[in-house]
Structure 1
Amino acid sequence: MLIEICSENIDIALKAQEKGALRVEICNNLSIGGVTPSYDEIEQSRRQLDIALHVLIRPRGGDFCYSTAEIARILRDIEFCGSLLTEDGKVIDGVVIGALARDRSIEYGACSEMFAAASEYGLSTTFHRAIDRSRDIFKALERVIDTGFDRVLTSGGTESAFEGRNTIARMVKMSSNSGTTIMAGAGITPENARQIITETSVPEIHGSRLSLLDGFI
């Protein structure tokens, strides 16, 4: 079981590493669902952490329908992450990206551009919780799989992964023969984590609570 800790500051990320986490996702402003951290924060996080590091690429809070200018900014941020190389040879391992069209279907053109930009640098790709805002989560998952994403972060289209565990279980089955992993996230606690894992068969979970690591590391 891989537990990804979501962190909006380097101190939490370092504590996660000390507790045995294998991967951290960094972002800013979790109160609005997370946005892209500054380039300096990304660089400092990569320098100080030795574990896998993924970066949320989201230009603003609110919906996931982006303008042409916002998509261009996302692509620049992906390029920055992909080209970052520290003095001791560390690189960013992955980016967390995604977009929806106005009708809340997957914005296939923009997502394909993002995926291609990330793949050019060998970055692992996670489709973020935009999928939980899509009008049909299963059709959206098919699109994400077709695009080639490595994983999908989801609560099953609900407020929490515990609430959405039946949908997540179906998503795991749908993706079982693809190269796309389902990662459960949102409202996962030490108290409900094992039930979510057991009932969904997800191989990865995502959360901001360091205490999640206590039962699995």
Structure 2
Amino acid sequence: MLEVIVTTVEDAIIAEAGGADRLELCVSMDEGGVTPSLGKIKNVIGAVDIPVYVMLRPHGNSFHYTEEDFSVMLDDLRVIQLFGAKGVVFGGLTFENRIDHIILKDMLPHCEGLGVTFHRAFDEAEDQLEALKQIAKHQPITRILTAGGPGKAPDQIEQIEKLLRATEDYPFELLIGSGVTPANAQQFLDIGAKELHVGSAVRFNNSFHKPINIELIRDMKETMEAHFNQ
């Protein structure tokens, strides 16, 4: 499964044409991604046939959310569902950098029918193995986006491998992202990754300010298909 970050309708069309299996729609990538405008959500979903997961994050200040933030997220979630998204991407931490059970218990009952990705708040958790156990208590979380820690995935291969082994006993997949490129994708597949997440690495000049390079997505997809078909 190859997931590509998109920020515009044009991105979405190119990513699908290149072979992406799923899209993550968000904006303000300099802040780590926040919820896009309602118009953008509607038009991106309408432009493609592959699943679109929408970032549900009201601000880029942190992964700590107030009651007021929850109210905004819930309103955004209702519209995301109305427009036909297949999933949402969200998560939360306490001020002690542990999994925020309150935000999950409050939000998840409203996510019926949607896939749920716990985003890279996971990488700021105090103890990632413990965080896996805590997230496993919440359904319907279907995957966790991680780079193995706050840095880039290629620098944390050992931790990612450890997390992949631990996840075998849990009802969700790990989605490996941040620093994943067509050139290094194979090393993540070799340690057991089944889902890869790419952003600036498949854009011209490796920049979110530049368009998606369809050839890079095709290269990544070919690498993945070759690995799983061997």
Alignment equivalent of 1:124, drawn from 115, 118, 121: 115
Aligned pairs (5 A) from 1:1-217:
2-84=1-83, 91-119=84-112, 122-148=113-139, 149-199=141-191, 201-208=192-199, 209=202, 210=213, 211-217=216-222
* Alignment RMSD (CA, Å): 1.3
Aligned amino acid, residue 63 of structure 2: F
Runs of 4+ in 1 over 2 A off after TM superposition: none
> How many Å separate the matches in 2 of 1:156 and 1:15?
29
CA apart distance, 1:177: 2.6
Query: Quick one: percent identity of the two aligned structures?
Result: 29
Question: Any conservation in 2 of the 1:189–1:212 contact (CA below 8 Å)?
Answer: no
Question: Any conservation in 2 of the 1:3–1:213 contact (CA below 8 Å)?
Answer: no
Name the stretch that deviates more: 72-81 or 100-109: 72-81
Task: Give SS of 2:155's match.
Answer: coil
Name stretches of at least 5 consecutive residues in structure 2 with no aligned partner.
203-212, 223-230
> How many Å separate the matches in 2 of 1:112 and 1:204?
26
Once the two structures are superposed, residues 84-143 of structure 1 have per-residue CA deviations (whole angstroms, 9 ceiling, x without a partner) of 2xxxxxx21000010111111011011122222112xx0000000000111111111111
What TM-score results when the alignment is normalised by the length of structure 1?
0.91
Question: Any conservation in 2 of the 1:158–1:164 contact (CA below 8 Å)?
Answer: no
> How many Å separate the matches in 2 of 1:76 and 1:38?
12
Question: Any conservation in 2 of the 1:36–1:58 contact (CA below 8 Å)?
Answer: yes
When the two structures are aligned, how many residues end up with a matched partner?
207
CA apart distance, 1:13: 1.3
What TM-score results when the alignment is normalised by the length of structure 2?
0.86
CA apart distance, 1:154: 0.3
CA apart distance, 1:178: 2.2
CA apart distance, 1:212: 4.0
